[in-house]
Every structure is written in structure tokens, then in C-alpha cells.
Homo-oligomer: A and B are copies of this chain.
Amino acid sequence: MTKTQQVRLAERPTGLPTADTWTVTTTELPELGAGEILVKISFISLDPAMRGWLNDVRSYLPPVGIGEVMRALDIATVIESTHPDFAVGDTVSGTFGVTEYAISNGRGVQRVDLSLAPGPTWLGALGIPGMTAYFGLLEVGKLRAGDTVLVSAAAGAVGSVAGQIAKAEGATVIGIAGGAEKCRMLTEELGFDAAIDYRAGDVLRQLRTVAPDGIDLYFDNVGGEILDAALANLRRGARIVLCGAISAYNEQKPPPGPSRYMSLLVFRASMTGFVVFDYADRYPEAGARLAQWLADGRLQTREHIVEGDVSQFGDTLNMLFSGANTGKLVLAI
């Protein structure tokens, strides 16, 4: 019998999650049945989208139920197996949740090649954030060489990859991030053409300075005032890709929408939402191209790894909402 600590949803938060949101329980896992694997979790992914899963509303995935183990993607090692496709010692990714150990029937579980990149990268640039950046830019945003591209939360897991993909595809790329250090990283390490520090004030004025002719594509991870600034500085035929709206996720009532949305008419522009899971059958294609960019140095990965145990999940998650992380935030246990 394997005992495991797990983080469960205790109550739905009304704003930022607190200690009361979560409860840590210890559970004994049952014996392995036929066609199952027992995994030991090494890395837990922390994602802005998790905040949405806590709300009892209809969305692209059902909400996490009260008392359920919090949903999370993990990198894990197979330590027992009765499943024909997985052997003891395999490193895998799967939605095992915020837990130390888990049993799975193998559905949605992928073997992971650590010779290509370490575990945390498989939660970041080669994982769902990388897929999100790839399909958001290339499919939804119809990126073209020569475009001027704006990316918000550009030092985050998705944004840092999105900006580098856009560069690799021949675009001029401007990133928005919080603080001088993140902005420095974007331009000096990740090859962005310019960076805007939203904490330094007036994003629209800064944007007009670095992109006086407007932008062709805005990859939006944040919503709020930054979305309005982008709307005010579009080029004709611009595309806005809605990937997220982290500025709103902890608001207790929906904040006002983008008041400048009628810029879409003036600029003959579009705003399109997407959910990366719709592209699941094309993840291999994206993975191959991302791995190639990684190999030839055009894609650099950034992970922010917090070491600890599952009980630190709640505090670590909130780092996303204060902007404390740079790159993909991972809890290593």
C-alpha cells in the first residue's frame, strides 16, 4: 500500500486563493489493478488556468469539485506497472493532480524523453505552454514573417515561448512584462526586439514609442488595461489572440471588458479565443518543431522551480498572480 499526500479543493475562493481554499490529506492508494501504473510525482505544473478551474462555471473543462484532488499536470516516474505500454522507470507526463503518488490507467499519459530536455521543460516549452504558444501564434494568429507582434506576460511560461517562436518565424517582437529585470531578460537573453515594463506606467504611450506603426498580432495573456492599450495601437487587419486574462482571474466580479473594442472595426481587426486542447492531435508536429528550435538555439527555456512538498502548492500557485515567477513555474517534490 502506498500512502500519498494530496492537495484537495476545500472551498471555492472568491478572490485570490487563500490557505482556506486548500486542504492537505493523506490517502492510501489501492493495489494496482490490471492495465494500470503507479507513478511517483517529480514535478507539478502551476498554471494561471488553474484559477479558472476553481470557479463553478461552465467552461472548456469542468470545474474541480469540492473535496477533489486539485487537477494538475505532472512529470512522474513509473514505479509499478501492469500496463503494457509503460515500464517501471519510465518518465511520463500526465494529469495526475497535486499529489505525491497516483494510479492511472494510462489515458492521456505520455512517455517523456529526458535526453531531449529535463522534466520541467516538458511542463513548459515542450509541454502545454509551448503548444499554446505554437498554435496560438501560428494557427489562431496566422503569424506572417514581417509582422509586428506584441506578447503580454512575455516573461511567463507561454509568453516567453510565443515571443521566441515569433522571432524564429521572422517577426518583430515586443514583450510586455513586470519589472526591469524581466524586460532585460526578454531583450538581452531571449532575443525580443523591445520590452515594455508595465510597472513603469502608461503602456499605451510606451507601445506607441516602440511600435509607432501599430501591431499586426497581439498575443494576449493578461486582458485588462493592457488589452485596451493594444486595441488602441493596431494596424489594419490585425489579429488579437485571446490566450488568457490573468489580470481578471482573481477579481470578485467580472471587470469591465475592453472599452476600446470598437477599434476592431476601425482597424478591420479580429479577436479570437482558443483552447490548446483542440489541437491535441497536432501536438507531435508542434513538439518536433519546438525541439528543433531548442536544438538549434533559437528557443531558450526558462523554468522557475520551487522545491518543496505538495503542501506548498497553494503558496506557489499565488506566485503566478503576483508575477513572482519568470518562465514556467514548477513545484519540484
Contacts and interface: CB of A to CB of B under 8 A. Distances in A.
Interface of A: 58-60, 223, 228, 242-245, 248, 254-275, 278
Contacts of A243: 265
A261 B264 contact: no
Given A256-B256, A270-B270, A262 B248 contact: yes
B265 A242 contact: yes
Contacts of A248: 262
B262 A242 contact: yes
A123 B257 CA distance: 35
B271 A270 contact: yes
A145 to B, nearest CB: 23
B270 A273 contact: yes
Contacts of A228: 257
A266 B262 contact: no
A249 to B, nearest CB: 10
Q: Which of A58, A244, A255, A259 has the most CB of B within 10 A?
A: A259
A175 to B, nearest CB: 21
Contacts of A263: 273
Contact of A242 (B245, B254, B256, B264): B264
16 contacts: A60-B265, A245-B262, A254-B260, A256-B257, A256-B259, A257-B259, A258-B258, A261-B261, A266-B273, A268-B272, A268-B274, A268-B275, A268-B278, A270-B271, A270-B273, A271-B271
Kindly name the residue among A261, A263, A268 whose own CB sees the greatest number of chain B CB atoms within 10 A.
A261
A243 B262 CA distance: 9
Contacts of A273: 262-270
A275 to B, nearest CB: 6
B271 A275 contact: no
A255 B264 contact: no
A269 B140 CA distance: 11
B257 A260 contact: yes
A267 B271 CA distance: 13
Contacts of A261: 242, 257-258, 261, 271
A264 B271 contact: yes
Nearest to A258: B257
A313 to B, nearest CB: 25
Contacts of A244: 265
Contacts of A260: 254, 257
Nearest to A267: B273
A189 to B, nearest CB: 30
A60 B267 CA distance: 8
Contacts of A58: 266
A271 B261 CA distance: 9
Contact of A59 (B60, B258, B266): B266
A259 B254 contact: yes
Contacts of A274: 265, 268
